Structure 1
Amino acid sequence: MRIAVTGGSGKLGRSVVRRLNQDGHEVTNLDLTGPKSRGFTQIDLRNYGHVLDALLGLDDRHGGVDAVVHLAAIPAPGLAPDAATFENNMLSTYNVFQATRRAGIRKLVYASSETVLGLPFDVDPPYIPVDEEYPARPESTYSLVKHLEEQMAVQLTRWDPELSIVALRFSNVMDPEDYEAFPAFDADASLRKWNLWGYIDGRDGAQGVVKALEYETPGFEAFIIANADTVMQRSSASLAAEVFPAVTVTKELGEHETMLSIDKAKRLLGFAPEHSWRDYHSLRTTPTED
């Protein structure tokens, strides 16, 4: 397919662009910054006219696209003033969603966030593992925008029944070099309780995007995208019991099973994480033969 990826220069975006190119798609990275190459076009997504123009066609790039992957955003709370985060992220997403519709593109995948689940869980989650079944609990301006984006997608797909919008609630994105720090998390269970000790390897995040692009059902759907394990060496059951003693655990947890449920993504998308930080440390500690 011909695919426009917004924010393709970001941490997750680089993995997504790489994977889509490897899979044989024709990818255009729409971002404020990036390499001066045929695959990159500089754009300010807050300008609706520029967004629509870029999706309809770009000289020397494409004459229109088949799908849009929207990843661009101020990527976390506190990186900018709250009002700036709201203005940038909400306006950019509206422009991308609306331009996608106006251009007649029927497939849109975008980055929602695990934060809508109630992060940083200063208020206990309703149950563990958390999933997509309970109402959103935004606790920051950044998360509020992610919730409002999902609500906007619900209404736009109601207006346009042929449109497919898939929201991927990505966990904390990690690259292999980030795994050096993981063993230290075991010293204090509270260090990473803010997202139930979850993460997503960027390469598995890219797999989630690929699977969502292949999802053919029109309408809106949201999926948690996390790795199958936690960032901890301790068991998931012991972590839940220590840090969230009053919270019901709804299933018997595997030794290191994620508490950000990916059951829905597995069932409907065929999502199957392939990378773990444990593999990285196993490779680094395995002696090599002379």
Structure 2
Amino acid sequence: MRIAVTGSSGRLGTATVERLRAGGHDVVGFDLAAPAGQGFTRVDLADYGQTLDALLGVTARHDGVDALVHLAAIPVNGLVPDVTTFHANLTASFNTVFAALRAGVRAVVCASSITAMGFPFDEPPPYLPLDEDFTAANTTYGLVKVLEETMAGQLVRWDPGLSVTALRFTNIVTPDDYGTFARAGDPAYRRDLLGSYVDVRDAAAAVELALAAARPGAVVYDIAAADTGLTIPSAELARRWFPDVPLRRELREFETLISIDRARARLGYAPAHTWREEYAAGQAVPR
């Protein structure tokens, strides 16, 4: 399958391109900056004409794609003014997904976010573990994610053959980031993330699984590690952070408070990396 990946030079984009190519796919990266090469085309997603043309074909690169993975975005609030984050991200997402529809691409996977489900959780969540049925935005970045998910639900009505999968990623960490988990015993650590994280390699695997499972319609999946990023048991964390929030079930010792049950059941998502193993391995390396 030939797959276009926007944001291909970013943290998740790089890992996703590597994962898809290792799986035998022909991947073309769309981004504003990346090393020159056969697998990359510079595309400004704020320009709809460029975006549509790039999906339809690029001389010496490809003559059309079978699927689209849309990861490009200003990654967090604060890098630019809030209104800039909103306009830039929403414009890029609309241009990219709408161009895919116009170009006849029928499988789209988009990066959504924990910011579409209440982050940073100054207001308590309605229940734990928190799943895809709850949606709330408290930042302009998160507002775009909510609007992207809503847009997907409408576009698949326009074209019943279109598949759009939104993956609500929590904080994505690379192998170089595991040193920060030295704070894992601090109850304030990752409080705004409900204690969650996901290894970039597992996040990339989720993208590959979502492409393989693409069916007509729009669907949302939470993507996190299977455990929290803390050494404090999950039930105790829930009581400390949100004493009045009900638990929907008894929690396993360090079970994630962001439910990944839907992704497990429908995609076969099985996160393989935990901070406990990665951090211990890093500590064992001679200095």
TM-score in terms of structure 1 length: 0.96
Matched with 1:88 is 88
- Give the AA of the match of 2:37: S
Q: Distance in 2 between matches of 1:191 and 1:277?
A: 14
Matched with 2:125 is 125
Matched with 1:113 is 113
Q: Distance in 2 between matches of 1:133 and 1:26?
A: 34
Q: Distance in 2 between matches of 1:249 and 1:175?
A: 30
- What do you get for the CA RMSD once the two structures are aligned? 1.2
CA contact (8 A) 2:2 2:27 kept: yes
Matched with 2:221 is 223
Q: Which runs of 5+ in 2 are unaligned?
A: none
Q: Distance in 1 between matches of 2:158 and 2:26?
A: 29
Matched with 2:57 is 57
Runs of 4+ in 1 over 6 A off after TM superposition: none
Matched with 1:156 is 155
Aligned 1:1-290 pairs, distance under 5 A = 1-134=1-134, 136-187=135-186, 189-285=187-283
- Give the AA of the match of 1:60: A
How many residue pairs align between the two structures?
286
- Give the AA of the match of 1:195: L
Deviations 1:237-287 (A, max 9, x none): 111111111111111111111000000000111111011111112323559
Deviations 1:161-208 (A, max 9, x none): 100000000010100110011021423x12311010101100000010
Deviation at 1:68, TM superposition (A): 0.2
Q: Distance in 2 between matches of 1:140 and 1:152?
A: 18
Q: Which runs of 5+ in 1 are unaligned?
A: none
Q: Distance in 2 between matches of 1:227 and 1:276?
A: 7
CA contact (8 A) 2:173 2:200 kept: yes
Deviation at 1:216, TM superposition (A): 3.3
CA contact (8 A) 1:176 1:277 kept: no
Deviation at 1:227, TM superposition (A): 0.7
CA contact (8 A) 1:183 1:232 kept: no
Q: Distance in 2 between matches of 1:103 and 1:184?
A: 48
- Give the AA of the match of 1:46: A
TM-score in terms of structure 2 length: 0.97
